[in-house]
Structure 1
Amino acid sequence: MTDRPNEQNDVDSTATLFHDIATPLVIAKMKAELLAKYLPDLIKAMVDSPELRHLLPEGEKFIDALIHSPEIMVSNLAIVQKKINLLSTSMRHQTNSFISTSVDDLAAPDARSGVQINASTRVSVIKTILLVDDEVIHRDIGESLLAPHYSVDFAKNGLEALSMCEQKHYDLILMDLHMPKMNGEQATVELRTRVSSETIIFGLTSLPIGANRSGLLARGFTDFLEKPLSLQSLQNLLRSHERHV
């Protein structure tokens, strides 16, 4: 029999490593894309302006480098992202294949009924996700992590979330706690009067929940996740709740 805690630690460590690499890559690529969009025209305008031309370095090769470097950065970061994603998928597959040789992983018994339930099928129950966050960077991170595995929609605040939930059913709602117009707590209270009782609502926050946890749970949250979002932490939390269903 293999040592299960150590194996699970290996899975979590691998997921954490790739999350820690992927998150700054996403942010860097976003910044590079902004530079690629706006910097070339700005440089060209400065070249043509007698008042601003002196702020640029001398020599055509330096001007050319300033204009084209952001595009090169975007391209290189996209290549690195692709390689990281391929490596991450490969390592997760190898690790999960090793762990799946354990009978306990292949058929984990439900705590109450004794029914044999495949651990991997628990998380697969979640098909549709609504990510609610007012910050573009966190929506982009969420898209990069979730879109390959789930059908994902996005809302910028609680009011948008209410409107979208009236039009479509979501198995899981990831709700940022701190947003303008209608924050996560207000939106969750309202959503609980409108959505299915089976809908899972995880609060997202970069601040400690602390003593507010019990009050937020009473208002309709299922549980909480730290930002920035991690796919592994999300799936681990889903599994932990499904084991108690």
Structure 2
Amino acid sequence: MTDKSKNHYESDSAETLFHDIATPLLVAKMKAGLLASYLPQLIKSLAESPDLQHLLPGDKKVIEALLSAPEIMVSNLDVVQKKINLLSESVLHQANNFSACPLGDNATANIHNGSMDASTSAALRTVSIKTILLVDDEVVHRDIGGSLLSPHYQVDFAENGLEAIRKCEQKHYDLILMDLHMPKMNGEQATMALRACISNETIIIGLTSLPLGANQSGLLARGFTDFLEKPLTMKGLQNVLRAYARHA
């Protein structure tokens, strides 16, 4: 195995590992947050109801543990998530997984000298993507996307197509990740509206958990650049961006 192949294998393995960790971690954090919001009130309601008090544990220490556990879980998961983000950024950078981080003077010199290989050149062309708008009505998918993208890009979020249009009226985005199925205004409607007022160079990638089938060609004609399956992965995104860079 050549050094280049080894680095590619290691980066793919690292990307898969961190995605497999990040997704259940974010789901667990969201559920712990719900427990922290509702469990204390539920326990209080049971304690104040003579007819329901028997449903509570008889040991007060157990009740105290139930009351404090969700907040502790949220705090611990938040720490773990931050550590995972830092470790992911460090490992993926060392594996040369994706050149979205700032490049040093040596890389710039290599460009001028014509000694940079094609894969690095393609990655450099995607460095022009600095601002991303992630549009999704589901919190968990916004959290997953933010966790993956924030270490490398300036990321904003919108919960539906109407909010996405308002955001784009206020700010330019190099890349828009657009969920197809949302309330108020879906991704297809929002993309058609946006294409009338944003730069043609802005990449709009549709996000969906459902197969597109014959609808894909129609969606491309309505302004989408490409599509990715949900949940979002950096590997999937970088593959699309590299393909776009080669044909830009």
Aligned twin of 1:72: 72
| Alignment of 1:241 onto 2:236 | no
Q: Alignment partner for residue 190 of structure 1, among 180, 193, 197? A: 193
AA partner of residue 200 (structure 1): I
- Deviation of 1:56 (Å): 1.0
Structure 2 counterparts to residues 46-125 of structure 1, below 5 A: 46-96=46-96, 107-109=116-118, 118-125=121-128
Aligned-residue sequence identity (percent) comes to 68
TM-score for the superposition, normalised by structure 1: 0.86
> In the aligned structure 1, how far is the partner of 2:156 from the partner of 2:82?
23
1:126 aligns to what SS in structure 2?
A: coil
Structure 2 stretches of 5 or more lacking a match? 98-109
> In the aligned structure 2, how far is the partner of 1:143 from the partner of 1:89?
13
Structure 1 stretches of 5 or more lacking a match? 98-102, 111-116
Q: CA RMSD in A?
A: 2.5
Aligned twin of 2:26: 26
Aligned twin of 2:8: 8
> In the aligned structure 2, how far is the partner of 1:168 from the partner of 1:217?
24
Q: Alignment partner for residue 162 of structure 1, among 154, 162, 165? A: 165
Moved more, 84-93 or 37-46: 84-93
- Deviation of 1:210 (Å): 2.0
- Encode CA deviations 1:21-71: one digit per residue, 9 max, x unaligned: 101101111111121122123212321221221111111111111101111
The answer to whether the 8 A contact 1:133-1:176 is kept is yes
Moved more, 196-205 or 68-77: 68-77
The answer to whether the 8 A contact 2:85-2:147 is kept is no
Aligned twin of 1:44: 44
- Encode CA deviations 1:94-138: one digit per residue, 9 max, x unaligned: 3229xxxxx9xx71349xxxxxx6344223211111111111221
Query: Size of the alignment, in residue pairs?
Result: 235
